[in-house]
């Protein structure tokens, strides 16, 4: 019966709640999960893995540019996090803490790989290529509508993969994973000005390269 059913929920707020609950306003739910995990509740830890595996995989994949490495790193990150859980004091977000571990693992992987293309975080500052804008064409309003999802994915992967590791790492943390400049600096052991300068170059280089694909046809290109 509806009447009886309604009265059960009498003390709840009116049913005008937003359709999709997204915002996390008060205490972050991770705090409770981490506390439970620390107390030995593995299902709580598993929940954290579930929440952040995509983000960790994405970060590792961006930095290493290698899918298999990213899979290994994702496993290692969560395993290390589990082992070091006691060290997590909660002065940063749990996700930021995980990302920091992921960055370390990924950079270590990159250094181990030592291919000729691999540059250290310090070296690649030297390159200025693409940091000075040359392409001033406007973009088509929605590149997503001009290319298929898979073509667009190829373009975006190829373009970010072509950046020096130090640049794409900063771009990934700041612009894709939404870390603050300070958090990014901390994760990478760089100064804030160094992060800012890399971010600028990364953004400008990506912009320059994407412009080749997305530029609007002008009289000149006809």
Partner 1 sequence: MNCTDFLAKLTDFFDGNIESELMAEVSEHLGHCRHCEVVVDTTRHTIDIYRGNEIYEFPDELSQRLRSAVMARCEGVKPAPAQAEGAESVGAAGSLR
Take residue 91 and report the two structure tokens written for it: 């002065």
Position 83 contacts partner 1 (CB under 8 A): yes
Q: Which of 41, 122, 129, 182 binds partner 1 (CB under 8 A)?
A: 41
Q: What is the dihedral of CA 145, 146, 150, 156, to 10 degrees?
A: -100
> 108: closest CA among 78, 166, 61, 64?
64
Of 142-181, binders to partner 1 (CB under 8 A) are 143-144, 152-153, 156-157, 160, 171, 175-176, 181
Q: Reduce the DSSP state of residue 166 to 3 states and report it.
A: helix
Residues binding partner 1: number (CB under 8 A) = 52
Q: What is the dihedral of CA 111, 112, 115, 120, to 10 degrees?
A: 10
Of 195-214, binders to partner 1 (CB under 8 A) are 196, 199-200, 203-204, 206-207, 210-211, 214
Rounded to whole angstroms, the Cα distance separating 110 from 103 reads 10
Rounded to whole angstroms, the Cα distance separating 169 from 114 reads 17
Q: Which of 50, 89, 112, 222 binds partner 1 (CB under 8 A)?
A: 50
> 47: closest CA among 24, 63, 31, 25?
31
CB nearer to partner 1: give 41 or 129.
Answer: 41
Position 49 contacts partner 1 (CB under 8 A): yes
Q: Which residues bind partner 1 (CB under 8 A)?
A: 33, 40-47, 49-50, 53-54, 57-58, 61-62, 67, 70-71, 74-75, 78-79, 82-83, 133, 136-139, 143-144, 152-153, 156-157, 160, 171, 175-176, 181, 196, 199-200, 203-204, 206-207, 210-211, 214
């Amino acid at each position: 019966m509806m009447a009886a059913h309604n009265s059960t929920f009498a003390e709840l707020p009116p049913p005008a709640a937003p359709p999709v609950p997204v915002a996390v306003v008060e205490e972050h739910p991770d705090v409770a999960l981490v506390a439970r995990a620390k107390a030995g509740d593995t299902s709580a830890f598993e929940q954290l893995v579930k929440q952040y595996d995509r983000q960790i995989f994405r970060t590792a994949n961006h930095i290493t540019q290698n899918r298999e490495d990213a899979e290994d790193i994702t496993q290692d990150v969560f395993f290390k996090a589990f082992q070091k859980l006691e060290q997590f004091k909660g002065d940063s977000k749990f996700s930021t803490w995980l990302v920091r571990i992921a960055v370390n693992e990924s950079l270590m992987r990159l250094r181990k790989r030592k291919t000729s293309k691999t540059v250290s975080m310090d070296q690649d500052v030297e390159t200025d290529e693409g940091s000075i804008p040359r392409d001033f064409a406007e973009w088509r309003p929605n590149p997503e509508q001009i290319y298929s999802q898979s073509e667009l994915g190829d373009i975006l992967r190829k373009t970010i993969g072509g950046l020096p590791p130090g640049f794409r790492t900063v771009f990934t943390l700041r612009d894709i994973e939404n870390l603050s400049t300070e958090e990014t600096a901390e994760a990478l052991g760089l100064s804030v000005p160094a992060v800012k300068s890399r971010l600028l170059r990364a953004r400008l280089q990506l912009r320059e390269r994407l412009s080749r694909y997305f530029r609007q046809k002008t009289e000149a290109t006809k």
